Amino acid sequence: MDIQQLKYFLAVIDNGSYQRAADALGVTQSALTKSVSRLEVFLGVTLLNRGHHGSTATTFGAAFALRARAICSEEVAARTELADLLHGDHGHVRLGMGIAFANGIIPRVIREFRQYYKRATITVREGMSPDLFDALRRGDIDFVISSPLDRPATMALEFDQTFLFEDSDDIVAAQSHPLAGREDIHFESLREYPWVITNSVPVLRHLLWRTFRDHGVAPPDHVILTDSVELAKKLVAEQSYLVLLGREFIRHEEKLGLLCALSVDSFKPTRSTFLTMRRGSVINSASTAFVDLLLKATATDIP
């Protein structure tokens, strides 16, 4: 069994057929088929179901795919670390983070990390949790700081998670908004204003709409959907829009007196943040130091 066999096997699963996998890899279908067949002989089980409409993993194949991805991820990490050493680099930290942390705890951890690893390279990938977990699975990054896994039963077989902290979410308005400063605002009043909904944390939108209905109020009619947190904050700051965001998103604007959290009757959702790593993975010394500083910061400080 070798790395190439594992990559060929995973390519068939990811592409859904031998032909599409062969095209993606730039090899012949015959070579791909022989490679997977040799892997099945070595393991003594059938990994793939072959049909007229494509190929799917068997029970054995699905279980083995988790191990195969982990092995391939570690191979990528090992090659990266060796390349860093070869070129005289002083470590490479590769992390993924949810959008909320760009203005929060990560800059503080980077600042402290730089005191000890002045010449280390830091690569930060920002995005949605599902995309970050895919990158972690492939070995493109070494750990993720984000919301928890959305499929804990299956993804827990691949990843280990460590709780970091709990963040609160608030309905946010401009300091000049008519609702700013009022106490115990009811959802009927919230519906009277336009909303901008961010897709950065999808669960927040579902929570908000469900809460409107639980209070016997239909969700707002005037809604703008966007992937841009910065656009959402600008609309809220300059117009009468409302938005549901984590406190980390608006910390800077609160200090400047531009945005504020509204006091809404019986509504104070919280969201947990976790550190996620590939199960059984080994990270380099620079990444280990970064994780240690992150855990120390979240244990002693509220981000």
Please write the tens of the pLDDT for every residue from 120-154.
Answer: 889 999 887 888 888 888 888 999 998 776 665 56
**Residue that has been written with the tokens 């670390």 in this structure:** 81
Burial of 270 (0-12, 13-18, 19+ CB in 10 A): exposed
Phi-psi region at 168: left, alpha or beta (left = phi > 0; alpha = psi -120 to 50) = beta
Give dist(CA 197, CA 177) in Å, integer: 17
Q: Which of 285, 224, 273, 269 is nearest to 99 (CA)?
A: 273
Give dist(CA 79, CA 74) in Å, integer: 9
pLDDT digits (tens, 9 = 90+) for 193-233: 999 988 766 667 788 888 899 989 999 989 998 878 889 99
Give dist(CA 154, CA 157) in Å, integer: 6
β-pairing, 92-97 vs 143-146, is parallel
pLDDT digits (tens, 9 = 90+) for 238-249: 999 999 887 777
Packed helices 247-255 and 229-238: angle between N→C axes, nearest 10 degrees: 40
pLDDT digits (tens, 9 = 90+) for 22-40: 999 999 999 999 999 999 9
Dihedrals φ, ψ of 44, to 5°? 80, 20
**Residue that has been written with the tokens 């700051």 in this structure:** 237
Tokens at 238, concatenated: 């300059």
State the alpha helices, DSSP H only, in the chain. 3-15, 18-25, 29-43, 59-86, 105-116, 129-138, 152-155, 187-190, 202-214, 229-238, 247-255, 285-300
Give dist(CA 143, CA 136) in Å, integer: 7
Q: Is the pLDDT of residue 14 over 70?
A: yes
Greater pLDDT, 137 or 288: 288
